[in-house]
Amino acid sequence: MLGSAAVSQGPGCLSLRCPDPSCSAIVLQGMINKLGKHEDKEKYARFALRAYVESRKKTKWCPAPDCTCAVEFVSDVNYDVSCNCTFRFCWNCTEEAHRPVNCDTVSKWILKNSAESENMNWILANSKPCPKCQRPIEKNQGCMHMTCTPPCKFEFCWLCLGSWIEHGERTGGFYACNRYESAKKEGVYDEAEARRERAKHSLERYMHYYERWASNQTSRQKAIADLQKAEKEQLAKLTEIYGIPETQLKFIIEAWSQIIECRRVLQWTYAYGYYLEDKVKSGFFEYLQGEAESGLERLHQCAEKDLLAFLPFSKHDTTEDHPSPAEFGEFRVKLAGLTSITRNYFENLVRALEDGLEDVQCAGEAATSSKATNSKKAGAKGKVAKKQPSRSSSDHSDDTWPCERCTFLNPSSADACTACDKQRY
């Protein structure tokens, strides 16, 4: 990391020329330090640092608000980088870190969230234009009798958009329209209704993914605040109650850090799912996402609620009012275990999504190949197929076996899943 107080020596150091056009002398830092005023020295140092950072391909300014640090990129694979201010961002697009989603998807998602297209979709799905002035009108009651806002004040039927003067008991009353039903059977309203239904479906689908994306973003911000509270208050209280050094309570900080990271990953999986068009992959993706979410909720509840049982409810609480050290030890094992399981699962989830869910495609190709082989065997005459012994789901291959809970492929030597600890048999 490079801070704003970094020295301006080295490659990219700023050099100034004398303002006199007839003089070609270069003004270096030594001359500024010797002859310049204090504010000139500070200004030169800022310009020198800025020139040094912006002239190098491997350094960038941290995009976090009010952060004055620059970050040096040292990886060639993972574009997620972290600044001293704890802000994590993507080196490639400088947006907030967004694995497992690529930069193009992030760009489209952010643009969609800020675009007016969704407002237009809502208007199209939930309103109709006034037949007279064409202003969109929303129906907010059950009656089909609509009155446009002033100065238009045109009265019309919500269903057929005809003048209300032509309606009454003979057309179905206030809550129905026989003229509309007859015209619909003749196909008069098919195109307009189909367009409105498509817009409504598109809007509902977008809101499904956006609400969950935003919900995880809010949960992540809350988890960041809870992490800061644990660092500033809770560790000291636990040390006072149980006599355990804060260095041995870092498992709580690790749990909160993992929750924050998993919330970020889970947040962006909803953007991933929105743009995933393959129906076969979508089903498998939703399963993986659901398992990840349920595992994260278990960890989050343990860190947020189960921990409260070991903290004082008021200043007058005594050590006798709290669970025993043995019970705290059991909580420590539980929280550390959930942290490890959740970390492993989310790492595998990120890897699977970044690989484009290739396992689903390979499985589909294998199933197609198997069907073709069986078809050839069934078509052959005069040959007797010898029945093969059935293999259990555990015997996926000679080298690996899939976990029934999280589908992670484990080495054959493992008796329990390395991702979620579920026993093989």
- The answer to whether residue 392 sits within a structural domain is no
DSSP 70: E
- The answer to whether residue 382 sits within a structural domain is no
Residues 276, 219 within the same domain: yes
Q: Can you tell me the distance from the alpha carbon of 338 to that of 346, in angstroms, rounded to the nearest whole number?
A: 12
**Whether pLDDT at 390 is above 50:** no
Residue 98: the pLDDT is 92
Residues 207, 74 within the same domain: no
**Whether pLDDT at 298 is above 90:** yes
% of the chain beyond a pLDDT of 90: 31
Residues 153, 285 within the same domain: no
The CATH number that applies at residue 270 is 1.20.120.1750
* Active-site pick, 133, 143, 148, 152: 143
Q: Give the confidence band of 149 by pLDDT, cuts at 50, 70, 90.
A: confident
- The answer to whether residue 363 sits within a structural domain is no
Domain total for the chain?
Answer: 4
Range of the domain at 151: 130-186
Q: What average pLDDT does the segment 130-149 reach?
A: 79
| Structure confidence by residue, pLDDT tens digits, 66-97 | 888 888 888 776 788 888 888 889 988 988 99
Highest mean pLDDT among 21-30, 260-269, 370-379, 406-415: 260-269
Residues 176, 241 within the same domain: no
Residues 231, 140 within the same domain: no
Which tokens belong to 187? 């196909």
Residues 48, 64 within the same domain: no
Tell me if residue 62 is catalytic. Answer: no
Q: Can you tell me the distance from the alpha carbon of 177 to that of 156, in angstroms, rounded to the nearest whole number?
A: 11
Q: From residue 332, how far is each of 88, 244, 253, 336, 417 by CA, in Å?
A: 28, 12, 12, 6, 22
Highest mean pLDDT among 53-62, 203-212, 322-331: 322-331
Residues 179, 202 within the same domain: no
| Domain endpoint, select from 144, 163, 186 | 186
3-state secondary structure at position 392: coil
**Whether pLDDT at 382 is above 90:** no
Residues 286, 172 within the same domain: no
Residue 213: the pLDDT is 92
Least confident of 12-21, 208-217, 265-274: 12-21
**Whether pLDDT at 385 is above 50:** no
- The answer to whether residue 364 sits within a structural domain is no
Q: Can you tell me the distance from the alpha carbon of 235 to that of 253, in angstroms, rounded to the nearest whole number?
A: 9
Residues 81, 21 within the same domain: no
Q: Which residue has the tokens 């952060």?
A: 67
- The answer to whether residue 371 sits within a structural domain is no
3-state secondary structure at position 72: strand
% of the chain beyond a pLDDT of 70: 72
- The answer to whether residue 265 sits within a structural domain is yes
